[in-house]
Structure 1
Amino acid sequence: MKLCDIAHARTGDKGNISNISVIAYDPADFDYLARELDEQRVATVFSSIVQGTVKRYDLPQLGAFNFVLSQALGGGVTRSVALDAHGKSRSAYLLDLDLAER
């Protein structure tokens, strides 16, 4: 099963920080996603572009998580030579992640 089967995502940026929010379609999937999407796993997914830390903030009342990826935008939106300087496509990349069977 892919992450996109049970969740959607949004992205944002500020300076050299990118954030990805993952929101479960069904809040009942929150605990399952909490086990599957820890900071280390998301850091591994983006290891080629994130030079800093990955911090996860849990929002159980929304059935969501916010991942903050520091040093992830090549120096910042206005300084980066990256094709996607804002990191908007990163949410789609994360949603393609394979999840373990429940």
Structure 2
Amino acid sequence: MSVQGIDQVLGELKAMSALAGGQAVAQAQPIAGSPDFASMLKSSLDQVNQVQQDAQAQQLAFQSGAPEANLQDVMVSLQKASLSFQTMVQVRNKLVSAYQEVMSMQV
């Protein structure tokens, strides 16, 4: 996730907080050409999925005895897939936490 995307999410959270507090909110105009949060999240999920599929394909190639598959590359790709999945889980946990915090605000 880029810095611009993080700034956009923080701006949306601040706007929701101000709205929940009864303050008037100036609607921020999205930056031209910038993707929305849902599309950024979907593309991140797709990237994690692609890394996992690539790692699985390399693992199956190594198990079947393909000459181009070497153990070091397979292990590195499996670790990358694991790390990307763990990162995505942490992002999900932070999003759930932020959502719960916004929902628990008094109106």
TM bucket normalised to smaller: under 0.3
More strand by share: 1
- Structure of higher RCO (CA pairs closer than 8 Å, 6+ residues apart): 1
* Structure with max Cα Rg: 2
